Amino acid sequence: MCRIASALILVVALPLPGVFGQSTGESVDIDKLIEQLSDQDFHKRQAAAKALQNAGIRALDKLKKAENHPDPEVRRWIRQNLPELEKRAILQPTRVTLQCKNKPFAEVIKSIEKQTGFSIGAYPDEEARRLVYDFDLKDVPFWQAIDAVCSKTGLMLQNGYGYGDGRIRLSARRGVAPFVHYHGPFRISAETFRLSKTLRLNLLPVDPKGLQSNLSQQLSLDIIVSSEPRLPLLGSFSVRLEKAVDERDNSLLPPRQQSTPLHDELIAYNMGGSDNYSLPCNVQLVPPPDNATKLKYIKGIVPVTLLTKNTPIVLAEPLPKADGKRATVGDFSFDIKNISKGANGLIQVDLAIQRNSNSNRDLLFHLYRRIELHDKDGKKYGIRGSSITHNGNLLRCRLDFGPRGNAGKPRRLVFQDWTTMPYEIPFVFRDLPLP
């Protein structure tokens, strides 16, 4: 028996050629193409380069192995093109195949977890939990698979902002979320329109007919940007709109603001070391005419900062010999003043973090949250308390660590060094009902 989907999800998915295209089984001899990069015939070299670009992430592993190729032309091409291919690989969506009949709900979720490596917490109602389901999904991007499962099982994605554990949560729904845009490993959903009016009463005009001059309206659209858990969202920047019109093609674009670099537009940044796969964003619009009923078309870009790699750097090991040690990671120096046992079995770590260049000062203030205490097997202690003093380029902090789970005796102090990447996520929505 299969429970039929109760609602149609309206989606927009605009894959970029060569970046988010569907996977293919086309056979390409990557090794031969790499050797052809050094051919004396220019046209053959050009054909090999084009074929390797088209192969994309399928060529990535062999290109990495050929970075020290004996031919200088091959090395030059690889070193010039490898960063873009690596970026392309990061931005590929994780794909899911779910082809089954009469499958219990729990097995459906376990199948997705096994294929992706992502943790999914699903909380359906009792009826949905008892039923069995049919699916015919082949090699589809992760978020489309999640929404297909939600549509059929009566679930909806629960925004993960604030949880910080990178876990996907699906809860029983009371309605539907029909306006969704997909882009590679990202999902953007239109959540809420907000229309407000303000009437200034402290400067009323002498002529009552001029009352409307003191009346103003504001319209905004709340959207949620979600990323696959393997690509935590560290921050979002102010949304840039390209077009927004109602059903009569009246423009709802606000006055164009002067373009500024992304780091100057930062409006939300979570540097606390937690993994958020979902962040809220706000889109400012011009209030529509009174007779407008829908936002016929809206197109824009959400600039975000992604965490692409987390590298643990050992600051001190073993702990009994850590006092007085200094470690430098990038633009920051970590001076360990003292590590001792405190009350209730807590481990107290006193250290100073020095900023050695003109790096972001706000980043300095949050670095302490990326310091961890591990046992010999890498099991983490939890932070039970902290005391922070911030003065210019210097941050003094005391961190209290306590054992978590079955963690053993503390062995090493570790700093999580982040590799980040800025990226602009495009979105399009059509026919959004206006308030």
At 257, is the pLDDT very low, low, confident or very high (cuts 50, 70, 90)? Answer: low
Q: What is the mean pLDDT of residues 110-139?
A: 92
Predicted confidence at residue 312, as pLDDT, reads: 94
Residue 340 makes CB contacts below 8 A (sequence gap 6+) with 347, 348
Cβ-contact 118, 78 below 8 angstroms: no
At 252, is the pLDDT very low, low, confident or very high (cuts 50, 70, 90)? Answer: very high
- Tell me which residue of 48, 170, 61, 51 sits closest to 108, measured CA to CA: 170
Q: How far apart are CA 278 and CA 187, in angstroms?
A: 9
Before 93, cis peptide (omega within 30)? no
Q: Which residue has the higher pLDDT, 162 or 82?
A: 82
User: Would you say the C-alpha torsion 153, 227, 83, 17 has a positive or negative sign?
Assistant: positive
For each of the domains in the chain, give its residue range(s) and CATH number, in order of start: 1-16+92-184 (3.55.50.30), 30-90 (1.25.10), 310-420 (2.60.40)
Does the pLDDT of residue 398 top 80, yes or no?
A: yes
Q: What is the mean pLDDT of the chain?
A: 84
Among 53-62, 217-226, 260-269, 280-289, the least confident range: 260-269
CB atoms within 10 A of CB 319: 18
Predicted confidence at residue 267, as pLDDT, reads: 41
Q: How far apart are CA 183 and CA 15, in angstroms?
A: 7
Does the pLDDT of residue 224 top 80, yes or no?
A: yes
Q: What is the mean pLDDT of residues 192-196?
A: 93
Predicted confidence at residue 26, as pLDDT, reads: 53
Q: Which residue has the higher pLDDT, 193 or 238?
A: 193
Predicted confidence at residue 163, as pLDDT, reads: 58
Q: What is the pTM of this model?
A: 0.80
CB atoms within 10 A of CB 137: 16
Instruction: Give the range with max mean pLDDT: 162-176, 266-280, 398-412.
Output: 398-412
Residue 337, both tokens: 């003043």
Predicted confidence at residue 9, as pLDDT, reads: 39
At 204, is the pLDDT very low, low, confident or very high (cuts 50, 70, 90)? Answer: low
The 3-class secondary structure across the chain, one letter per residue, is CCCCCCCCCEEEECCCCCCCCCCCCCCCCHHHHHHHCCCCCHHHHHHHHHHHHHHHHHHHHHHHHCCCCCCHHHHHHHHHHHHHHHHHHHCCCCEEEEEEEEEEHHHHHHHHHHHHCCCEEEECCHHHHHCEEEEEEEEEEHHHHHHHHHHHHCEEEECCCCCCECCEEEEECCCCCCEEEEECCEEEEEEEEEEEEEECCCCCCCCHHHHHHHEEEEEEEEEEEEECCCCCEEEEECCEEEEEEECCCCECCCCCCCCCCHHHCEEEECCCCCECCEEEEEEEECCCCCCCCEEEEEEEEEEEEEEEEEEEEEEECCHHHCCCCEEEECCEEEEEEEEEECHHHCEEEEEEEEECCCCCHHHHHHHHHHEEEEECCCCECEEEEEEEEEECCEEEEEEEEECCCCCCCEEEEEEEEEEEEEEEEEEEEEEEECC
Phi, psi angle pair for 339, to nearest 5°: -125, 125
Q: What is the mean pLDDT of residues 300-309?
A: 91
Does the pLDDT of residue 258 top 90, yes or no?
A: no
Tokens 């260049």, residue? 357
Residue 121, both tokens: 């917490």
Q: Which residue has the higher pLDDT, 357 or 96?
A: 96
Q: Which residue has the higher pLDDT, 245 or 204?
A: 245
At 20, is the pLDDT very low, low, confident or very high (cuts 50, 70, 90)? Answer: low
Phi, psi angle pair for 381, to nearest 5°: -85, 155
